[in-house]
A and B are shown apart, each in its own frame.
Chain A
Amino acid sequence: MSHPEMDTDVESSRQERAAAAVRPEKGMEVFRWVVTMVVVALLAWGLTADIRFNRLLGAIPAFGRILWLMFRDPDWSALPGLVSAMWESIAIAWLGTVLATIVSIPMAFLAAENLAPRPVVFVVRQVFNVLRAIPELILAVAFIPVFGLTARTGVMAIAVGSVGTLGKLCYEIIEGLDRGPIEAADAVGATSPQRLRWGVLPQVMPELASFAMYRFEVNIRASAVLGVVGAGGIGTLLSQYISFKVWERAGIALVVVIVATIAVDAVSGRIRRRIVTGPDGTVDDSSIDPDALGEASIIVHDRGGGPGGAGDQ
């Protein structure tokens, strides 16, 4: 027989642990049920659209046939033209991102609650919200009568479309600035530019540069299809080859887009990692998590960009 005293000890600590452990709540079951019902109802409602599912049966053989036609005997003479069109898409995405970054920084100062008066903050944030909501392709459609059927339209569509997201991130960084380094700069008698250089920039640059690079990756995907409406880049050729079923060229076009996008992602991803981690691969500032600047984290911890910074906990 074991010691009675020890037994009760073990028993009581077991109960304590059981009480401390997180138990699935009964409410969770109900919640799960409600969510399932809502999803099923939404799906059922969605399926009432004029879909004509019978066409789905033909999709799989059609897919196989198209793949066969694409890569059976590709027309390699189209490659140089496609590569230079893809390069134009990359250039549009890059220049658009650079312009958006340049414009969004001063705008973000006007949208930061700790710097600008409330009415100004409200107005600038609404501008960001509007720009964030409109897809680049729609902007391109609206810009064509202004800038013509040229790459310039593409650059403007990408730039205007990115100001919203970049501006939002930027004012969130400004609002989260640590006063410490700025006060330290003041304490040693820094001038205004010096304070900016040593107190503000080191805090802002890594996050902003990393996010702008990420935005560039997103914009490549957008600029690759801007040509569908005639705003420059590889999209024009893509839509022509696919609509007119020039499959032996469409296949190469598809491969060019995929390879270029993956390559840019890989290079840009490496640079982003290098920006937030130190030269030896370790984080020199423990407050920055190398993965914290990924899209995933931005979404999970979305701080909201509504009027007056609704939800800034």
Chain B
Amino acid sequence: MSPFAIAMGLLVVVFTAVTVYATDFSLAGIVEDLGRPNSSFAGLLHLDWTQVTNTRALSAFVETVQMAVIGTIVGGFAALPLALWNSRVGAPNNAVYTIAKAFNNVVRAIPDVLWALLFVAMVGIGVLPGILSLIFFSIAVTSKLTSDVLDGIDLGPVEAAHATGAGHTAMLRTAIVPQVLSSYISFLLYNFELNLRASAVLGLVGAGGIGQLIDFYRNARAWRQVWGLIVLFFIITFLVERLSLYFRRRLV
């Protein structure tokens, strides 16, 4: 084994031991906890299937999907220029490159629920803070993924565009965007799946959608209903994922 592999192995073991200590984790404790009867798993055994056809649950779900749709479209479109500026070849100058990179790094480091907490504090509860959070979350995901692809593009067309005297925008449009377009679109579809999953939890902090209903039942200790909603959620995300995968495969 190489010294690097040995060092990594040691590091993993040591770090794991430290984190076991930090989180006070023990397998015996987990087994013991699982052995005790608890309201959550008892609810799972008798989950409330009527949630799948419940009109209140379904309308909360429509709201969730609407939030995900707007977040993906608005955030996804804003992500394209940010992704272009995030690469040396696509940025018009160094200042734009540095600012775009810093902006992307910060936006990427803030989790979806934290965005929701902040926007709920700014505009109040409801669908609007949810949409705003998803817009920023989409910018983070799509611009990161797209700029990863941008790093590996063929520079030939860029040179060709410069040789014909094309301006920066014309060069982006004719030499760079066509090379990343199909990946970009599949990232948008993938981002939509992520947004759907994220928008289901934003409601836990008051940002609209199915999460609000989950939070309501959770506070009422109505675990049968909570699990019913989770089943409904799974059915919908599963269908959306199949659909998105079908389109994404068409694109490559």
Binding site for B on A (CB under 8 A): 39, 42-43, 45-53, 55-56, 58-59, 62-63, 66, 87-88, 90-92, 94-95, 98, 129-130, 133-135, 137-138, 141-148, 150-152, 154-156, 209, 221-222, 224-225, 228-229, 232, 235, 238-239, 242-243, 245, 254, 257-258, 261-262, 265, 271, 274-275, 279, 291, 294-296, 299-302, 304, 306, 311
Set of chain B residues within 8 Å of A239, measured between Cβ atoms: 117, 205
* Most interface-central of B24, B146, B183 (chain A CB within 10 A): B24
* CA of A55 to CA of B128, assembled, Å: 8
Does the CB pair B24–A56 fall under 8 Å? no
Set of chain A residues within 8 Å of B24, measured between Cβ atoms: 150-152
Does the CB pair B200–A311 fall under 8 Å? no
Set of chain A residues within 8 Å of B121, measured between Cβ atoms: 62, 66, 242-243, 245
Set of chain A residues within 8 Å of B108, measured between Cβ atoms: 261, 265
* CA of A232 to CA of B8, assembled, Å: 27
**B145 interface residue (CB < 8 Å to A):** yes
Instruction: Provide a sorted-by-A list of 14 A–B residue pairs whose CB atoms are within 8 angstroms.
Output: A39-B73, A50-B126, A55-B123, A59-B123, A62-B122, A87-B22, A95-B19, A135-B201, A145-B40, A228-B205, A242-B121, A262-B105, A262-B106, A265-B108
Does the CB pair B122–A66 fall under 8 Å? yes
Determine chain A's interface SS by DSSP, over half rule. Answer: helix
| CB closest chain-B residue, reference A88 | B22
**B159 interface residue (CB < 8 Å to A):** no
Set of chain A residues within 8 Å of B151, measured between Cβ atoms: 291
Does the CB pair B16–A94 fall under 8 Å? yes
Q: Closest approach, in angstroms, between the C-beta of B201 and any C-beta of chain A? A: 4
* Most interface-central of A51, A222, A306 (chain B CB within 10 A): A51
**B100 interface residue (CB < 8 Å to A):** no
* Most interface-central of B40, B121, B248 (chain A CB within 10 A): B121
Does the CB pair A144–B70 fall under 8 Å? no
Give per-residue flags for B103-132: 1 if the beta carbon is below 8 A from chain A beta carbons, else 0. 001101111111001110111101110011
Q: Closest approach, in angstroms, between the C-beta of B153 and any C-beta of chain A? A: 12
Set of chain A residues within 8 Å of B190, measured between Cβ atoms: 299
Partner of A304, one of B23, B200, B245: B245
Set of chain A residues within 8 Å of B18, measured between Cβ atoms: 91
Does the CB pair A43–B16 fall under 8 Å? no
Known contacts A59-B123, A258-B109, A224 near B23 by CB under 8 Å: no
Other 11 A-B pairs with CB < 8 A, given A156-B30, A224-B111: A52-B127, A52-B128, A94-B16, A95-B20, A95-B23, A135-B200, A138-B230, A254-B114, A262-B106, A296-B148, A300-B183
Does the CB pair B205–A133 fall under 8 Å? no
Known contacts A52-B128, A94-B16, A296-B148, A141 near B214 by CB under 8 Å: yes
Does the CB pair A51–B128 fall under 8 Å? yes
The segment from B48-56, B86-94, B169-177, B231-239 found at the interface with A is B231-239
Known contacts A143-B40, A229-B204, A261-B109, A43 near B69 by CB under 8 Å: yes
* CA of A88 to CA of B19, assembled, Å: 8
* CA of A155 to CA of B183, assembled, Å: 34
Set of chain A residues within 8 Å of B149, measured between Cβ atoms: 296, 300
**B34 interface residue (CB < 8 Å to A):** yes
Set of chain B residues within 8 Å of A129, measured between Cβ atoms: 238
Known contacts A145-B40, A300-B183, A52 near B197 by CB under 8 Å: no
